[in-house]
Structure 1
Amino acid sequence: MLHTARFYIDLTKDEAYLIERNLGITLDQLKSKIEKKFNGITAWVIQKYEVRLFFTIDFVKLLNKSNIQESDYVQTERKIDEFILFVFQDASFLDRICMTRLDYRRDVQIPMVERELLLSLYRKTTSKHCHQEKDLRYKTTLYFNSKSIISCVYDKDLEAREERGKVEWYEDSVLRLEVRILNQHLKYKKYRQGKEKCLKEYFKDELFKEYMEKYFGEILFNGDFYKINKARTIINNSQLKDSEREKLLLFLCEISKHGFDYVKEKYSTYYRKKFLKQLNSLNINPILIPKSRKSPSVVKNPFQF
């Protein structure tokens, strides 16, 4: 469920000095000190116009488990408490923690050939979604960017090999969906909906599902991936009327040939939703596998929304 989160605590200069006194280090040595003491936590102090302690948490490393759920919150909170008490020796600083970013993640282990195929198919989806714009600059990562939310799908296995030369046990063969909730979105939720910028508010299974559905469900879709001949067979054997079958097949072929932006211009919202609903009921993903691609005619969808 969770991947990472970033936090800060505003400090006075005297409180920053307290860190040095408690730990017997300079502030420049804080990052190294914390990483040796706490697995999954990185901390540093920035002194510019104000003094702030920043820290990030990698929840997988912190808890030494990949499948993080809402029930893990108590253990997570306890480890954060231990970190803050180690640094300040004062529990009052716990009430001053402010969250500025949180990344939800969903991982599926699948073979490399299928990861490559899926990433190539995902590139054909809509160019804009939820005020986000698609970014196709990277071969193994597809981004949808805005100032408040970034969603991306990428080959975590390949990224780890390229960046570090090795993969951790929880990264092996993984295709990852990630929703990065930035500070602007957290502030919006706080001032418009009263949701505090704290980990407890977002450490919820239902909220994780909600973000995944909103930011991926309408661009990656449910349904397995087919080449056109296999999809045509399923549609022709369905209970749809002949005229509906023809229209649905045309819709599929136009997406395959021209992409989603074309059908968004050509079809009304009513018909797009109708055809997508029909495809979903037949378990057909609207993004077809190209006929010329050397691959199976059917590839199971690793994600369901």
Structure 2
Amino acid sequence: MIHTFKMYIPLNYLEVQDIQQRLGIKYSELNSYFEDYYKGINAVLMSRGKGEWHLSMVVDVIQLLGTPDIKEGMYGRFEYKIKLMLMDIFGHSLSYKNHVLTRIDYRYDVVVQNKDERQLLIDLYKKMARSYCRQTKRTGYQNKKTKEYVTYGTSVEHKSNSVKSLVYMKAEECRAKGREPAPYENDVIRFEVQVGNNRLYYLEKEKGVPRKLSEYFKHQEFLNHFELYIFPIYYTDTFYKLDEARKIITKSPLKPQNKQKLIDFLKKVSSYDLDTPLKSMTKATQKKRIATLQILQINPITIPKNYKNAPSILENPLKTCPIA
């Protein structure tokens, strides 16, 4: 469900002075002062100018609660731990009610023990649509020094100014950042939605959803964001090699001409990515083809014929998601 979130509590300079005096530290030393006591919390005092300050907090909920199995019913336990830290900082926890959520990351982890299959899944997800709801697909980055394009080996993302949807191999990401993965991160493919401040602000102003942790800790919000930003991009249907997909289509009750249209569509997609057929068809026709494939439970991305060690059929990990 939830992985990480970021929030702030508005302060004034007198409150910052009081914190420094109470704890006997400089404001810049706050995080190092508490880092051994509150695992998973990074807290920083930041000046906003004109006497306005923020207590900014980035919280790894898994580390804080000591379990990767985060559920809505744990909110009370979570709030208690945050308030304990606020008590140590301010001498009270009343300021918690003033917190403003600025980012929250929802996650769904699936164990795929076969390393070749994990890599194949990432390579298949890379072939999804180049854009979705103002989110642009990114399969790499430009090296700032060499200006060369570097392809992501174990991840793919769709990103906008408000939301990022991504799929990645968790253990490999951990090692790339210089740490060994935790036991629950081994052999995992993670599907993640990072909900940014622009999105949270929009939902507050337009939909009346307060930017409070109590609102976004709800399981329904996890469902809402996966239904909006994961399933429409990466789909939940089974991956097939083209020959296997052709067998299913041939046995279906579709009219012969519609069967051929689907097969031709899959061939075009297999040549590069999901948007390749748009060179010769409209977006509406593309959506119609995908919808028909979904009825047959065929993922529009086929497994490449010559992919090393690839099976003919591969279940999509998203198929096991409770809300799929």
TM-score of the aligned structures, taking structure 1 as reference length:
0.94
| Aligned counterpart in structure 1 of residue 66 of structure 2, from 64, 68, 76 | 64
- The answer (yes or no) to whether the contact 1:222–1:284 under 8 Å persists in 2 is no
Q: Which runs of 4+ in 1 moved over 3 A?
A: 264-271
- The answer (yes or no) to whether the contact 1:140–1:154 under 8 Å persists in 2 is yes
Closer/same/farther in 2, CA of residues 151 and 24 from structure 1, 3 Å limit: same
Instruction: State the partner residue of 1:257.
Output: 271
TM-score of the aligned structures, taking structure 2 as reference length:
0.89
- The answer (yes or no) to whether the contact 2:8–2:99 under 8 Å persists in 1 is yes
CA drift at 1:273? 3.2
- Paired amino acid for 2:220: E
Aligned mates of 1:204, 1:268 — CA distance in 2: 39
- Paired amino acid for 2:107: R
Residue 176 (structure 1) aligned with residue 190 (structure 2) = yes
Aligned mates of 2:91, 2:274 — CA distance in 1: 56
- Paired amino acid for 1:136: T
Which runs of structure 2 are paired with 1:116-131 in the superposition (5 Å)?
116-131=119-134
- Paired amino acid for 1:122: Y
- The answer (yes or no) to whether the contact 1:227–1:288 under 8 Å persists in 2 is yes
Which runs of structure 2 are paired with 1:1-305 in the superposition (5 Å)?
1-47=1-47, 49=49, 50-110=52-112, 111-137=114-140, 138-294=152-308, 295-304=310-319, 305=324
Secondary structure (helix, strand or coil) at the match of 1:285 reads coil
Extract unaligned runs of 5+ from structure 2: 141-151
Aligned mates of 1:160, 1:23 — CA distance in 2: 34
CA drift at 1:24? 3.1
More displaced 10-residue stretch of structure 1: 277-286 or 53-62 = 277-286
CA drift at 1:270? 4.3
1:129-185 deviations in whole A, cap 9, x for unaligned? 011111121222212111111111111110101212411122111111111111111
CA drift at 1:112? 2.0
- The answer (yes or no) to whether the contact 1:5–1:56 under 8 Å persists in 2 is yes
CA drift at 1:122? 1.1
Aligned mates of 2:207, 2:232 — CA distance in 1: 24
Aligned mates of 2:102, 2:81 — CA distance in 1: 19
Aligned mates of 2:40, 2:47 — CA distance in 1: 24
- The answer (yes or no) to whether the contact 2:239–2:313 under 8 Å persists in 1 is yes
- Paired amino acid for 1:6: K
Secondary structure (helix, strand or coil) at the match of 2:275 reads helix
1:80-130 deviations in whole A, cap 9, x for unaligned? 111211211123211221111111111111132112111111111111101
Secondary structure (helix, strand or coil) at the match of 1:37 reads coil
Extract unaligned runs of 5+ from structure 1: none
Aligned mates of 2:130, 2:289 — CA distance in 1: 19
- Paired amino acid for 1:302: P
Closer/same/farther in 2, CA of residues 48 and 202 from structure 1, 3 Å limit: closer
Aligned mates of 2:110, 2:19 — CA distance in 1: 41
Secondary structure (helix, strand or coil) at the match of 2:245 reads helix
- Paired amino acid for 1:215: Y
- The answer (yes or no) to whether the contact 2:7–2:101 under 8 Å persists in 1 is yes
CA drift at 1:186? 1.1
Aligned mates of 1:250, 1:211 — CA distance in 2: 33
Structure 1 vs Structure 2 CA RMSD: 1.6
Aligned mates of 1:113, 1:15 — CA distance in 2: 54
- Paired amino acid for 2:93: A
Aligned mates of 1:183, 1:253 — CA distance in 2: 40
- Paired amino acid for 1:260: L
More displaced 10-residue stretch of structure 1: 97-106 or 261-270 = 261-270
Secondary structure (helix, strand or coil) at the match of 2:117 reads helix
Secondary structure (helix, strand or coil) at the match of 1:71 reads helix
CA drift at 1:244? 1.9
More displaced 10-residue stretch of structure 1: 235-244 or 153-162 = 235-244
- Paired amino acid for 1:96: N
Aligned mates of 1:289, 1:254 — CA distance in 2: 13
